[in-house]
Structures are given as structure tokens and as C-alpha cells.
Structure 1
Amino acid sequence: MLPIRRLLLRDLLVLMAGLSTLILGLAWWSQQQALKRQASARTESALHHLETVLHLELKASQSLGEVVQGWWLNGALDPTHPEEAARLILPLLTAQQSITSLNLALQDGPSLLFLRRSDAWFMRELVQPGPQASIRWHRLGRPGDRMTSEPWTPMDYDPRTRPWYQAGATGTGPSWTEPYTFYTTKDPGITCTFPIRNAKGLLGVAALDFLLDDLTAGVWSAQPTPRSRCLVVDPGGRAVILPNDPAFQTPALRREAFLSPVGSGFLEAQSGLLRAPLGRTQTFHHQGDAMIGLITEFASLPGIHWRLLMTVPEEDLLGPARFRLWTLFGMALLSLGLAAWRIIHIARRVAGPISQLSAAAEALGLGETPPPIHSRILEIRSLDRALRQAGESLLDQARLQRQLEHSQRMETVGTLAGGIAHDVNNQLAAILGQLHLCRETLPEGHSALNRIQRAEEATRRCAQTTKALLSFSHQSRPELQPLDLNALVQNTAAVLEPLLGGRIRLRCQLTPDLPPISGDAVQLEQVLMNLGVNARDAMPEGGHLSLSTLVGDDGRILLDIQDTGSGIPEALLPRLFEPFVTTKEHGKGTGLGLAMVFSILKAHGGEIRAENMAEGGARFRVSLPPADCAEVPVAKGPDRLKAASPSLAGRRILVVEDEPLLREMLADALTLARMQVTTAPDGTLAWKAWQQARGFDLVISDQRMPDCTGLELMALIRGCGSEVPFILVSGQGLESVEGQLSADQRVRFLPKPFELPRLLPIMEEMLSPRKD
């Protein structure tokens, strides 16, 4: 037997020192690897961003040239009328800051040149090209300024001899030239040419000029760190965009450096990257600094075949992270020192009277939960037995209390979810209806139709979310429809895979030509996500997760979810799908996930079975019945409202809805269909409207309304002997009586949110003469 103080000091200090050394070592190594990967990823992201910035800048300017080309071809732009051309083009040039000049050269020689100098624009008018050419400059200023002109002066110049004109005249579409020195400004730049042709032949060439200095300034503004360097070279290895280096800080220095070959004596640090593989980060040292470099190809525009080089000092990317890492390690060491001091202090104080601790253990066994005690001391062992008994009693009581509180919270959340879903369904129905009405007012092929369709898709996704809330609160039945299980597994796997982390491999083994199943896609996705996340938690060290589909011997469709984790305790297998049964640690699971999976599959007529595999891990097998149809219906595009049939035109419709937006939308839609619409905000006012004018042909009523519900309103109307057709709409509250209502041919139930193309056919069917 050892004295308690020496035993505590020896065991606790040795354990703490060993674990601390191991944890700190592993943490340091993993953090260093993570920092290197982070630096490479940030460099790739920065280079991709610069590539995008450069592409968008050039593409936007090319689009402007295409606009000018279109104006010229359709006659809106005539270079022979300089003043009209200036009024038309100047607003475009002013909005696009990267363009330095625009040249419009006619096929027979005359041309117009729009040139930017500082913040003002000038126009040069050229006639009689060649040795006898004459030019005249006009100051344009800004849009709206008065144009001032200078006298005509002679100039020996013919734009048709310039390389940009010849490139445009022989081309068939927009094309970018190789970088060269401009004739007028003597600055290096590039040109985008646009041939102007009609059925009779070449009319002329439009050319947009860009200074390499302006492109360089745009790239500098987008560099990731102050000390990063970006270089762009053409196929000949000439510098097209210069790095942000002190040697190129003035326009004069950059003008001399542009189009210089990169190599020995000029940008030697970047020249080595020209021979590196594309898209692969390289690490090298330059002037004592560790650098990360990357090269990629930029050839997204016709005529441009450049290479983009990016070098970033490693310290710029990792310096702040390393400082935080050192700070955390310092704090960890300080905490370990404080813990060691505390252990020594506790060890000295624990050597008190053991008899008092034994008496305290008996008191703890009656009401409190002490921590477990592990010791070779006889007195501590007797105390441990008493503390275990008290602890087990308290744990059982606390577990039952948590289960009761959790059930109460779940009931409250379910009720709240149902109320929220009802209110949201009202708004979604109004949004869908207004989108349909917007589509009807637009002609086929209108550019806004795609935006309306995307808004409808987003609204339908929101409707699926509210449906999931109702399912969660047990206030909605699954909407069964033919589904392709393989497609559902693939779509869910795409969402599940990022949640698994990088240490778990996801594999899908799908049987082709699988018969369709009858199910609710949203609820079955919940089943697959729940089982996938459970499998992830069972593999904290990584592993494999496989999703397989196949057809069973009895014709049912099977879905296997198998992992390589720790498996399921055999004692839990018989009651695994009961509420509050969980394999996870305390505080990490509610015990309701698998119970919800079982409930959903039971509502689908399916089954689920769990088993441990001999090779390790667990497998969940889901069995679902096949659908009655042989094929999954092909998804259709958005429906357009059909013209109102004679059976609807002129009909008197009573619309009862307490949501103003939905009520107004229904009134607008039915009025557009040439129906006479009367609206009421609740059942009481609707009953008064019915009593005042009994000639309504059909009633559309919400179910959940204050004072008088839709069913109560229908009972009042039926009580006065009327058999008027009745359409009940609701996002919640009719599931229990839907079967009873379906027996009445004069009543239809329409769940919210609904779409107008679904409502009008129901109305037409109910108002058409019935055939015996």
C-alpha cells in the first residue's frame, strides 16, 4: 500500500506528462501539414481569381465591341457622320474604363478614332487615307459636353495598312491581336478586332485598343497579398502584365519593360516557373524568402494564348496562422503547468481523515452523483462501492427525467412547426400564383421567363421544407409518387459526401434498370441522410461507406447502407429502433433518429433491418415495395395557364381566404379567366355573402380560419339545401377527414401551396356537366 499523496502525484503526473507530449506532438505535426495544404489552396484560389478578373475585363470590352459591330451592321452607327457616331458611342466608352481607344475604319479608307487622354475623350476624323490624308481632332469631353473641333491638318497615314485592320479584314469574328506598340500613343497594348460584313462584303473593321499598363493596374488591385507577384507572358515569353515590383512602379519604367523577354537578367525569379508543370504549386526560395509559385494557361478568348504566373511569399499566407498556432501552444503549456501545480496541491489536501470521506459517501448515495474513484487504498475502495450505488441511482433518475423533458420539447416543437408550416404555405401559394400570372403576361421567349422559372423552383423547394416540418410534427402524410431510387441515392450522396469529411470514402453501387418505388422523396432523403450521418459517427478514424441498390428475391426493392465502423452492440440490436435508444455517447445523440427512420419507412410500407458484418462494421437493409407503374414520370417544364374554357367563363365564384395576398392573387387569376369573383376574408363574412346572393357556381375556401372554418362554412351552405361544388384548400388540418371528403363528388381537397395550372382543371371538371 502507498500513501495517498505519493500515489496521486506519481500516477497523475506521469499520465499527464505522457499524454501532453503525445498530444502536443501530433497536434504540431498535423497543423504544419494543414498549413502547407492551406497555403497551396490559397495560392490556387488567388490565381484563379486573377484569371477570372482578367477574363471578365477583356470579355466585357469584347462585348462592347460586339455592340458596336451590331450597330454598324443594322445602320444605327454610320462612321461617315462623326457627330452622330460620337453621341452614340461616347456613353459606352465612358462606362468601360479599360478601353483606351476605338477605331472605326471603312473599307475605302476613311476612319474615326476615339481616343482617351487622361479623363477626356477625343475623336480623330481621317479622310483620303494615304500620303494625302487629312485629319481633324474633336474634343468630346464627357457625355453631354459640347464638342469642340480643331482645323484639318495633313498626315501620311492609311489605317488599312495597320496589322489590326488586316487581322480584322481577314477574320470571321472577334479576334485579339498579339501585343504590340500603338501607332498613335506609342504605348504597348493589345487590340480586339471586329470585321463588319454584310451580304455585299466587307464594310470595314472596328478595333478596341487596351493599354497593357491599364491591364496591369487591374491585376495589381486584385493580388491576394501586398508582396505577391503576378506575371503574364505571351507565347513568345514576353511580359504582357508586369508584377507589382519596385522596379516597375512608374509608367515610364513599365513602358520600357513591357514586351521584354522573361529570362536571364529580367524577372529571373519568375522565369523558372515557366518550365514548371501547369496547375501544380511549386516551392522555391528567392532572396531568402520561401515562395509558393503556380502557373496556369489563359486562353479563354480567341487569339489570346497567355500564361499566368503567381508567386506569393509563404510568410504572407502562413504568418498569421503560425502566430496563432504558437500562441495556442503557449497557452496549452501554461495550462499544463497550472494543472500540475493543482495536482500537487490536491494531493496534499486529499490525505485528510478517510473516516470523514466514508461518511460523506453514504450521504452522497442518497441524493448526489459523485465522480468514479479508482485507487488501491482500502478506505477509498469502500467509499467507491457506496459512490457507485448512489451514482447508478442518480443516473437512472436523470435519464428518465431527460427523456420526459425531451418528449415534451419534441411535442412543443411539433406543434410550433405545424403552425409555422400553415402560415408559410399561405405565402408560398400566393407567391406561386403571382409568378404564374407574371408568366402569363410575358410572351414566349422573354428573358424574364427563366428568372420566373427559377423563382418557382425555389418556392417549390421551400414548400418541400414546410412539408418536412409537417411530417416532423406528424401532421402530414407522405405524398407517394413513383420515384427512381437510384436517382434519389445519387442526389442524396452528393449532399452527404461533404458531411463525411475527407477520411471516409463514399461509394455507390447501383443496380441499373431498377423498378421504380412509390414514395415521398423528401422523407426518403431524410432516411438516407440519417443513416449516413450515423455511419459517419461510427467511423471517427475514417473508413468506407457504401450505398447499394438491388432487387430482392420477393420483388421488393432493397437499399443497403454499410460502413466499416465499430458496429452495433449486440445488446442494442433487438431494440435499436425504439425511441431514446442510442449507440452514441451521452450528450451526442437523442435516440430519436432511428425511431424516425422506422416511422417513415413504415408509412411507406417498407421495412428496415440492422446487422453486424463478420468483416467489421454494420449494415442497414431497407426494403421498399415497387410502384404500380413501370416507369417514373418524366418531369415536365413549367405549365402555362390554358385559356378559360366555356364552362368557366362567366361563372360566379366565391373565394374565402383569410390571407390577403393569397385572396387577391386568386381573385386576379380567376378574373383573368373571365369569371365573376366575390371574395371574403373569413367564413362568417362568406356566409353573409352567400345569404345575400345565392347564385354562386363554386366556392373555394380555406380550412383554417378564425370564427368559422371551411368545413363549418360548407356545412352551413349544405344545410340550406345547396349542392354547390366546394374546393377546400389548406396547408394543414384536413388529413384526418380527407378520406371522408373524397366520397362526396362535389367536394375537392387541394393542399397548399398549390399552383394555378392545378386549380383551374379541377374547377373545370367540377363545373362541367356530369355524365351518367
Structure 2
Amino acid sequence: MTPTPSQSIQDATHAYTPAFEGTQVEQRRAVSSEPGYSPQASPPSGRKRRIPLRLLLIVPFVLQIFGTVGLVGYLSYRNGQQAVDSLAGQLGSEVSDRIEQNLLDFVETPHLVNQINADTIRTGLLNLQDPAAIGRYFWQQIQLFDSIGYIQFGSEQREFVGVERLADGSFQLDLSNESTGFNYRTYATDAQGNAANLLDESGSYDPRVRPWYTAPVEADEPTWSEIYSYVASPKLAITAVQPYYSAEGELVGVLGNNLTLSQLNLFLQDIEVGKSGLAFIVERSGDLVASSTEEQPFRMSSEEEEILRLPAVESEVPLISATASYLNESLGEMATVETATQRTFELMAIATFFKLRLFEISVDWTG
């Protein structure tokens, strides 16, 4: 008997897959034998792949382990990062507090000296009509205060007396009065603080128009001058100043103590900031006042006739210029900053932490 096509298909299928139920296979093959059937469209035949029980038990367990380890690793990283940030913030605060305290002590001394001198004049122990005596008094006094670099007095009669401490430990006496033709003269001093040999003579000098003189007259109280350049040497200074009045309330003159920016540099260099850290002070204008580096906070003009202030963003110290630039970009101009802040930014792929502190000493400084 000649088998029908369906019987042939059924028999062949049963021979190839004896483990399958005939009805199931016949239904599948019946669909396959319909018109339009394509071998490529045929579902794969064969046995169902069985997953070993061992694998079923191990895989979820391993995945849980990897998930747990990954989560623990991430949390450890986050906690470590937070700990580093916290430590950096704590260290920054400690350094900033130390700088502020030392800076306040440093800038309070000049005002103390001014008050001592005002009291000495008021009690009659210092005669303002004797410039030589004033010079000797200042010469003795400046040796008592290591942080003081210059002590001076200018009067409404255009007279001026000042004593300066030099880097080598010696002293100079500056005079300008009627006896000098109101020219600015600089003398070396002898062992008693008297004027010795003449070192230099500049042109006509009037203390009443200098920044250190006009500041307390306008404020009518002790204050700080703006940063200005010396008349006879390439130095920038800021002066603690106090007006002195007669018993009748008339302005007699102005007492002052100078801090040069180079002195402030040395002051910051003496403060422990860490192995890779540094400290710097800027005005709200963005100009550099001082730093704990060797860089001077000013530069000379091309003609070497004028001292120019150095913007912090133009500093040759990468950490200073990068920090100043970041501050301008993230906080806006220095003049708009009102509160202390601390941030972290990247400098040459290295995380850099900084803390900004405002110093309230009658001058617009941040550090």
C-alpha cells in the first residue's frame, strides 16, 4: 500500500524524534506542509536545552556576591571621598584661622605704635618742633617692634620725619622740612640714631598730598591707607595712620607706620600652610597684595619708572592664577564676594582645594 504524504511525514518524524508525542509533531509538520512553506522559516527542531541545576543554583549566588561587592566598593569610595573632602575642609579652616589670627596681630601692632606716639606727643615727652629728636625717638622705637618697617610723622606745616628699617638690619632717616628746602633727603644713621652721611636727595616733597596723609584726614579717625609706592625707592606699602589734633581740635599732622608688600610676603612665608599649599591675599580689585611665594606682588613698567600692581590672574605662580581665575568664573568679581567659601577644582588633573576668607581690617582684602 502506497503511503499517503501525511503518513510519510508522520513516519519520518517519529523515526527522527522518537521521544516526542506523535500528535504534537504531526501538528507542527502539518503546518509546515501547507502551501508557501519555506525551509528557512522552519523553527529549529531538536531537544530543549536543559540548564544544569548546579548552574541554576550558582549563578544567582555569584550575581548577588558581585552586586554586594560592587555596592560596598562604591560606598567605600564615596565614604573615602567624603572623608578626604572633610579632612581637606578641616585643614583649610585651620590654616585659614591661623593666617587670620596672625594677620590681625600683625596689622594691629602699627595702630598700637601710632597711639603710643600720639600719647607721647600729648604729654609733652616728644617735641614736634625738634625733627632731630623725633628721628632719634623713631630710631629707638622701631628696634622694639620687629614687624614695623617704617615709622613717620607729617605735619600741616609740610614737615616730615621718617625712619626705615632696611633688609640688612641697618636704618635710614628721611627728612623734609624748611632746613632741607622741603626736598626729600635720606641719611644713614649713627649709633645714637642721628643723621650721619647724606645718601640721597630727591625733589620737593609735600606729605600733605600723599595717600597715607589724606586717608586719616578724610576718615577723621585711625585707618589704613590705600596701597601706594614710595617716593624714593621701588616699593609698595600700606600705612596704618592716625590723625593728631591739638587740644583745640586743630589738625596738627598724621602719624603712620608702614607695611611694605614685601614684608607681608615674608609674613605669609612664615606661616605653615602644608607641603603643597600656599596662601595669598588679594584686594577686591583683584590685585595681588602678598603671597607665601617668592613672587613680588608688583612689576615695573617697561621704562622702569613706575611700579604697576599685579592682578592675581596674571601671577606667574600657576596655583595663584588658576585659583583667581576660578574665583572670577564661579563667584564673579571679587568686589561682589560677601561671605567666606571653600571649593574644589581641578588644576592639571589634580583636585585642588581652596578656602576664601574675608579680612575686616579697614581695607578690602580677601585671602
Which TM-score band applies after superposition, normalised by the shorter structure? 0.5 to 0.7
1:173 aligned residue (218, 221, 224): 221
Partner of 2:234: 186
Asked whether the 8 Å contact 2:212–2:226 carries over to 1, the reply is no
TM-score by length of 2: 0.67
Shift of 1:183: 1.4
CA distance in 1: counterparts of 2:259 and 2:268, whole angstroms: 14
| Unmatched tracts of structure 2, length 5 or more | 1-64, 301-306, 332-336
Deviation of residue 214 (structure 1)?
0.8
Would you say the 8 A contact 2:344–2:352 is kept in 1? yes
CA deviations on 1:155-196 (whole Å, 9 max, x unpaired) are 421212212212233332211011121212221111121101
Q: CA deviation at 1:230?
A: 2.0
Shift of 1:110: 1.6
Matching residue's letter, 1:291: T
Distance 2:137 2:264 in 1: 26
Aligned to 2:170: 120
Partner Cα separation in structure 1 for residue 298 and residue 196 of structure 2 = 33
Q: Using the TM superposition, give the Cα deviation of residue 138 of structure 1 relative to its aligned residue in structure 2, in angstroms.
A: 4.1
2:118 counterpart of 1:59: no
**What is the Cα deviation at residue 216 of structure 1?**
1.5
Aligned residue identity for 2:172: F
Q: Against the structure 1 CA distance between its residues 22 and 153, is the aligned structure 2 distance closer, same or farther, given a 3 Å change threshold?
A: closer
Percent of residue pairs identical:
18
* CA pair 212-28 structure 1, distance change in 2 beyond 3 A: same
Q: Which of the numbers 250, 262, 271 marks the counterpart of 2:325?
A: 271
Q: CA deviation at 1:29?
A: 4.9
Q: Which residue, out of 281, 285, 291, partners 2:352?
A: 291
1:241 alignment partner, one of 287, 290, 312 = 290
Does 1:70 pair with 2:70? Answer: no
1:149 aligned residue = 196
Q: Secondary structure at the match of 1:150?
A: strand
Q: Matches of residues 668-679 of structure 1 in structure 2 within 5 Å?
A: none
Distance apart, 1:258 and its partner CA: 6.8
In 2: Cα distance, 1:183 partner to 1:121 partner: 17
Aligned partners of 1:281 and 1:292 also within 8 Å? yes
Residues 244-267 of structure 1, C-alpha deviations (whole Å, 9 max, x = no match): 2xxxx365x855597222336872
* Structure 2 residue corresponding to 1:262, chosen from 312, 324, 330: 312
Amino acid at match of 2:206: D
Distance 1:293 1:188, change over 3 A: same
- CA separation in 2, counterparts of 1:214 and 1:290? 31
Query: In structure 2, what is the Cα distance between the partners aligned to 1:148 and 1:111?
Result: 14
8 Å CA contact 2:282–2:288 kept in 1: the answer is yes
Query: Measured at CA, do residues 169 and 145 of structure 1 come closer, stay the same or move farther in structure 2, by a change above 3 Å?
Result: same
Displacement of 1:235 after TM fit?
A: 2.2
What is the DSSP-based 3-state SS (H/G/I as helix, E as strand, rest coil) of the residue aligned with 2:158?
Answer: coil
1:240 CA drift (Å): 0.9
Q: Which residue of 1 aligns with 2:274?
A: 225
What is the alpha-carbon distance in structure 2 between the residues aligned to residue 33 and residue 259 of structure 1?
39
Per chain length, whose mean CA-contact separation is higher, i.e. which structure has more relative contact order (CA < 8 Å, sep 6+)?
2
Q: In the alignment, what sits opposite 1:160?
A: 208
Q: Is the 8 A contact 1:273 1:294 kept in 2?
A: no
The amino acid across from 1:199 in the alignment is A
Give CA-to-partner distance per residue, 1:377-418, whole Å, 9 cap, x none.
xxxxxxxxxxxxxxxxxxxxxxxxxxxxxxxxxxxxxxxxxx
Q: Which residue of 2 aligns with 1:307?
A: 366
The one-letter code of the counterpart of 1:273 is: L
**Structure 1 match to 2:52:** none
Q: Which residue of 2 is the match for residue 318 of structure 1?
A: none
Distance 1:307 1:153 in 2: 38
Change in 2 beyond 3 A, CA 1:70/1:258? farther
Which amino acid in structure 1 is aligned with residue 326 of structure 2?
Answer: G
Tell me which amino acid in the other structure corresponds to 1:205: V
CA deviation profile, 1:310-349 (whole Å, cap 9, x unmatched): xxxxxxxxxxxxxxxxxxxxxxxxxxxxxxxxxxxxxxxx
In structure 2, the CA distance between the partners of 1:65 and 1:258, relative to structure 1 (3 Å rule), is farther
Partner of 1:95: helix, strand, or coil? coil
1:105 is matched by which residue type in structure 2? G
TM-score, structure 1 normalization: 0.33
Aligned with residue 93 of structure 1, among 126, 129, 142: 142
For residues 743-754 of structure 1, the aligned pairs below 5 Å read none
Partners of 1:273 and 1:295 within 8 A in 2: no
Q: Tell me the distance in 1 between the aligned counterparts of 2:240 and 2:164.
A: 15
Aligned-pair CA distance for 1:154: 7.5
Q: State the alpha-carbon separation in 1 of the partners of residues 225 and 350 from structure 2.
A: 37
Matches of 2:259 and 2:131, distance apart in 1: 22
Superposition deviation, residue 21 in structure 1? 6.3
Assess if the C-alpha contact under 8 Å between 2:184 and 2:202 holds in 1: yes
Q: Does 1:36 align with 2:36?
A: no
- Partners of 1:100 and 1:116 within 8 A in 2: yes
Aligned residues: 282
Q: Cα gap change, 1:124/1:264 in structure 2, threshold over 3 Å: closer, same or farther?
A: closer
Matches within 5 A, 1:567-646: none
Alpha-carbon distance in structure 2 between the residues aligned to 1:23 and 1:293 = 31
Q: How does 1:268-667 map to 2 (within 5 A)?
A: 268-274=322-328, 275-276=330-331, 278-299=339-360, 301-302=361-362, 304-308=363-367
Task: Name the aligned partner's letter for residue 126 of structure 1.
Answer: S
Change beyond 3 A, Cα 1:31–1:71: same
Secondary structure in structure 2 of the residue aligned to 1:77: coil
Give the secondary-structure state (helix, strand or coil) at the position aligned to 2:114. helix
CA contact (8 A) 1:176 1:193 kept: yes
Query: Do the aligned partners of 2:264 and 2:291 also contact (CA within 8 Å) in 1?
Result: no
2:99 is aligned to 50
Which residues of structure 1 form unaligned runs of 5+? 1-16, 309-772
CA distance in 2, matches of 1:258, 1:298: 24
Give 1:196's aligned residue.
Answer: 244
